[in-house]
Homo-oligomer: A and B are copies of this chain.
């Protein structure tokens, strides 16, 4: 039973990865989501979701040494598959939100 699209957390992970661009590694991704959503995100949750997404081929990663020393980091990039899924999720969600009186603002 393959799933239809993205889970809600997967979506946040992909968006955070895109946002961070060249600096998207595990801990930073978790912090980006925390910062923008006021929701606490454990590192483990982020890492586990990242590796599941990588297994599916929606993102890819490479290890690069930290520039300022420190332990090497695994940096992530969202691939074409991931971008496609994101667009689908966006269309579904925005289509349902539109015109609900919830659509914007607080």
Contacts and interface: CB of A to CB of B under 8 A. Distances in A.
Interface of A: 4-8, 11-12, 15-16, 18-19, 33, 36-37, 39, 86-87, 89-97, 99-100, 102, 104, 106
Contacts of A100: 15, 18-19
A15 to B, nearest CB: 4
Given A86-B102, A102-B86, A96 B8 contact: no
A interface, over-half SS: helix
Nearest to A12: B96
14 contacts: A7-B8, A8-B11, A15-B96, A15-B97, A16-B96, A18-B100, A18-B102, A36-B95, A37-B95, A37-B96, A39-B92, A87-B106, A90-B102, A94-B104
